[in-house]
Structure 1
C-alpha cells in the first residue's frame, strides 16, 4: 500500500470531520427538531452543497463510470434531466411542504388523505432505504476504496472478504457521524466535501488527459474526441439500457420523485430558513449536477482509451485514479469518494430516524404510553438507526453477485419503491376529492403490478416504460374511485408555516439559464456535437 496515498486520505478525512464538529459545536442536539432538521436554520449554500453531495454517492462514481466504460454516455441522462425535475420541485413542491410546516414528506399525505396512508408510505420509504440505499452506498464505497488501496492484494484476502471488511469499517464511521453528530454536522461536512469534489474533478480530468496525450492535455482531449466516439453519445439508442424515450416516461417520474419526495433528499430543503433560501439552494445543486460529468462520466471515457479489458469493470474508476494521479492526489480523491459515500449514507440514516420517530414511533407511543418526550424519541431514533446500519453491513457485500451491472441494479430496485409513492402524492396534490381508500388501493395496485411485470410475466418493455404505463393506470384507477366514492368535503390546505414563504424573486432568470445549459449538455454529447 502506498503510504503517501493512505496518509493523504487520512489527513483530508480528519480535516473534514474536525471542521464539521468544530463549526457545529454550539448547535443543540437535545431535541428531535434540532437533531433531525438542524432547527430549520440552513442557508442556500448549505442546502445546495448538501443536496449535491447527498446525491453524489460512491454508487455514482462506480456505477456511472462503469456504464460509460462498457457502453456510452447515455447514463448521463439521469443527472442532466434531473435539473428539470429539481426546478419543478423548487417552484411547485417546496412551497407546499414549507406552507404546511412538514418535517417528513409523507406529512402531506396525512393532511390530504389520512394517517394510515402516511404510515403506509413511511413503511415503503423505510424498506427502500434498508434494502436499496444503505447497502448499495456501503458496497459502492467499499469497491472504490479497495480499488484505490488494493486492500485484497495487500493483505492476501479474497475480493469478497476485503469488501466485507471495508463495509464494516464504513458502517462504523457512518454511525459515528450520523447517530452521534446529527443533521447539522452532516450538512457542514457536505460543504467541505463539495469544495473538495469540484477540485477533484478538475484534477482527474487534467491528469487523465495528460496521460492520454503523452504529457500534453490538449493532445489527450484530441485523442478522446477522435477515437471511440460511440462512447461519447449521451442520446440513448433503442437497444441501450436507457433509450432517449425513457427520459420522457419513467426516468422523468423517478427524477421528480427523487428530488421532490425522497425523504433523505428533501430533508435538506425542509431544513431551510425560508422558501427563497430553499429555491436558491436547489438552483445551486443544479449547477453541481451540470458539472458532475467531470467526475461521473469523463473518467470512464478516459478509461476506454487506457484499458482495453478489465475483469472487474466496476473497478474502472478507482483503477484510473490510482494509475493517473500522484499519490497525494490519489489519497485526496479517495477521501472525496469516502466523503460522498458518507454524505449519502448519513443523509439516509438521518432520514430513517426521522421517518421512524415522527411517523411510526411517536404515534404508537402516544397511543399506548401517553405523551412521549424528546429524550425518548431521540433514543428510539438512534436505536433504530443502529439496527439498520448493522443490517446494511451484513447484506451489502452480496450485491457483488447481482447480475446486470451495479448501476442498473440500483435504478431498477429503486423504481419498485419510488414511482408508487410519486403517483399517490401527485394525485393528492392535483385533486381535492379523491379519498384515502383510493390512495391505499393505488399503492397496492402499483406495487403488485410492477412485481408481476418484472418477475412473473415479463413484458419485454424497458422497465421505465412499464413504470410510466403503471403510473397512468394507477392515476386512472384512483380517479375512478374518486368519481364514485368522493370525499365528503373538498381538501383545503391550511398554512402552518414556521419559515418565511416569500419566493426568490430572481428565480425565473436562474431557472431559464439552468434549463438552457441542460439542453446544451445533451447537444454537446450527441451526434450533433462531439459524438460523430
Structure 2
C-alpha cells in the first residue's frame, strides 16, 4: 500500500523542515571554524532537555520500534522490561558514572580506558566498538528502517536504505553532534506524538470505536497471555526473557553496558553544559523510557488481534501504519523515519568520533582541528556505505532482529561492564586484568552457547559477567601492581540535587506499580 498524495506532502515538509533546522543550529559565529569539540561534543553546550531528548532519539530507532513491536507480537509485554529496567539504569549511570566521565573531560569511552589502563585497552576496545557499530547496529537500523519503508510504500529495500542514509547525511554531516542533538527535539516530539496516535488508533479499532479504555480492556481479555511480565519456564519464549532474570539477572548487565559505557549513547551526556544539566537530561530520558512501551510494544500486541495472519513479526508496526487515516499516516510515517534517521546520525557521529579521536589522531603527528572534523565527516559517510552493502546478508534471514541484536551484543557486554566498573571503582584493577575480562567474555559466551544451548542468553550474560569479574580480580591480585592511573574517587562528587533524588524515587515507584500490575 502506497502513501496518499497528502501523506507524501506531509512527509516532504518534515524532511525539508528538519534539514532547515539542522543548518540553522549548525551555524558558527563569524570568524569561528568548527573544531573537534564543536563537531564531536557540540562544544559542551547541550542543555538538559537536549541531552534527554537526544538520548531517547539515539536509542529509539528501527531496531526498537520495528524490532520491539515484532517481539511484542511474538512475546508480549514482557519485552517492555528492556525499556522499563533501562529507566532505573539511567538514574544509576547519572549518579555514579557520569560524574567520573565528566571529571575526566573525555571525548570517547576508549579514551577513558587509556587514561585508566593503557593504550592497548584503548585501541582494542575502539576497534571492537567500530566493528559492532558498523556491522551490527548501523546495519540493523538501515535494514529494519528500509523494511518498514518497503512495507508501507513498496519502495525497494536498497533504495530505502540509500534514502535513509542520504537523509541522515544531509542534516548531520556538516553540523556534527550539535545538529543531531538539537534536531532530536523535533524528532522525539514527532516520535512520541505519532507513536501514541498509532497506539490510540489500534486500541480504538479493537474497542470497536469505543475508545482506548475499552480497546485496552478488550485486548487484555482476548490476548491475556501477552500481558505476562515475568515469563514462566514453560513459556515458549522463556529462553529470550527467563523469568526473574529480567529483574535480578543479566538484563542489568545489558543495560549498564548500553546506557553507561556505550559511546553511541553516553556521548550526549559528555556534551552537556555541566554535570547537573547532564543528570537532569538523564532523568528526563528515564521518564520517557517508562512511556516507550506504549509506543513500541503495545502496537505489536494489538497486531495479534488486528493482524493475526502476519508472515513476519517485524511487519507488525509497518502494517498497522497502513490502518491510519490519510494525512496522519504521513505524520506517523514521518515519526518512524525521524526515529531511524536520528539514530543513523547519532551512530555515524559516534563512529566518526571513535575512529578520529582514538585511532587516527596522534600526538606524534598533530593536525589542525579542521582536519579532524573533515576526517570525521569522511568516516561517517564511509560507515553508511559499508552498512548498506552488508545489511541484507547479515540480517535478511532473521524474524526478530531485536532479539538477534541483543544476543549478539550479549557475547561482549559482560566483559565490558567488568572492564569499566572495576576500572572506575577498584584501584587494584590492572590493564591485563581488564583485557582478560574483555576477551574472556567472548570466549566464555561462545563456550556456554554451544556447551549449554538450553541456557537462556540473559542468564548466560549474568554467569559470564560473574566469571569475568572473577578473572579480573584474580589477575589483578596476581600482578599486585600499584595502579598510578587509578580513578581518584575522593576528587569526584557523587552528590545529586533534590530534584534528581525525587526523580529516582518516582521512577522506582512507577516500576514497582507496573510489575505489580502485570506480574
C-alpha separation in 2, matches of 1:372 and 1:502: 39
Distance 2:311 2:19 in 1: 35
Residues 248-274 of structure 1: CA deviation (Å, up to 9, x unaligned) = 222110101111110010000000011
Structure 2: how far apart are the matches of 1:55 and 1:29?
30
Paired residues, number: 509
Pair 1:512 & 2:511 matched? no
2:287 corresponding residue in structure 1: 287
Tell whether the 8 Å contact from 1:139 to 1:399 is kept in structure 2 after alignment.
no
Paired residues of 1:58 and 1:337 also in contact (CA < 8 A): yes
Report deviation, 1:423: 1.5
- Structure 1 stretches lacking a partner, 5+ long: 152-161, 527-532
What is the CA–CA distance in structure 2 between the aligned matches of 1:318 and 1:226, rounded to whole Å? 24
Tell me whether 1:249 sits opposite 2:249 in the alignment. yes
Q: CA–CA distance in 1 between the matches of 2:163 and 2:467?
A: 45
1:209–1:216: 8 Å Cα contact kept in structure 2?
no
Q: How does 1:425-440 map to 2 (within 5 A)?
A: 425-440=420-435
Distance 1:273 1:188 in 2: 14
With over 3 angstroms needed to count, the CA separation of the structure-2 counterparts of 1:355 and 1:34, relative to structure 1, is: same
The aligned residue for residue 204 of structure 1 is 198
Secondary structure of the 2:391 match is: helix
The equivalent position to 1:224 in structure 2, one of 219, 222, 227, is 219
Instruction: Answer yes or no: is 1:424 the counterpart of 2:419.
Output: yes
Report the equivalent of 2:448: 453
Kindly provide the CA deviation profile for residues 28-74 of structure 1, in whole angstroms up to 9, marking residues without a partner as x.
Answer: 66201100100001110000111011111111111111111122211
Q: Structure 1: how far apart are the matches of 2:427 and 2:407?
A: 32
Q: Given that residues 242 and 458 in structure 2 are in contact (C-alpha distance below 8 angstroms), is that contact kept between their aligned partners in structure 1?
A: no
Q: Is the 8 A contact 1:53 1:194 kept in 2?
A: yes
Q: Which runs of 5+ in 2 are unaligned?
A: none
CA distance in 2: counterparts of 1:138 and 1:490, whole angstroms? 43
Q: Give CA deviations for 1:195-247 in whole Å, capped at 9, x if unaligned.
A: 11221133112222221222221432331132111112222332422122322
Question: Which range moves more in the overlay, 485-494 or 38-47?
Answer: 485-494
1:139-178 map, 5 Å: 139-151=143-155, 162-178=156-172
RMSD (Å), alpha carbons = 2.1
Cα distance change of structure 1 residues 400 and 134 upon mapping to structure 2, 3 Å threshold: closer
Does the CA-based 8 Å contact 1:433-1:491 persist in structure 2? no
For residues 494 and 275 of structure 2, the distance between their equivalents in structure 1, rounded to whole angstroms, comes to 5
Assess if the C-alpha contact under 8 Å between 1:402 and 1:409 holds in 2.
no
Checking the alignment, whether the CA contact within 8 Å between 2:230 and 2:244 is kept in structure 1 is no
TM-score, L = length of structure 2 = 0.93
Identify the residue that residue 80 of structure 1 maps to in structure 2.
84
CA shift for structure 1 position 500: 11
User: 2:341 maps to what in 1?
Assistant: 342
On the 8 A contact 1:274/1:502 being kept in 2, the answer is no
Deviation (angstroms), 1:22: 1.9
Q: Does 2:461 match 1:462?
A: no
- Name which of structure 1's ranges 94-103 and 410-419 shifts more when overlaid on structure 2: 410-419
SS at match of 2:366: coil
Helix, strand or coil at the partner of 1:327: coil
Aligned ranges 1:8-27 → 2 under 5 Å: 8-26=10-28
Deviations 1:416-465 (A, max 9, x none): 333322211111122112221112222222222223333x5344211121
Match of 1:186 in 2: 180
| DSSP-derived class of the 1:292 partner | helix
Give the conservation status (yes or no) of the 8 Å contact 1:274–1:501.
no
Equivalents in 2 of 1:322, 1:121: separation in Å? 43
Could you tell which deviates more after superposition, 121-130 or 415-424? 415-424
Q: Which runs of 4+ in 1 moved over 6 A?
A: 499-502
Contact 2:427 2:487 in 1 (8 A): no
1:283-321 per-residue CA deviation (whole Å, 9 max, x = no partner) reads: 000111111112111111221111221123211101111
TM-score by length of 1: 0.91
- The superposition leaves residues 174-199 of structure 1 with CA deviations (integer Å, 9 ceiling, x where unpaired) of 22333223111111111011111221
Which 10-residue stretch deviates more, 440-449 or 25-34? 25-34
Match of 1:195 among 181, 189, 192: 189
Distance 1:486 1:91 in 2: 30
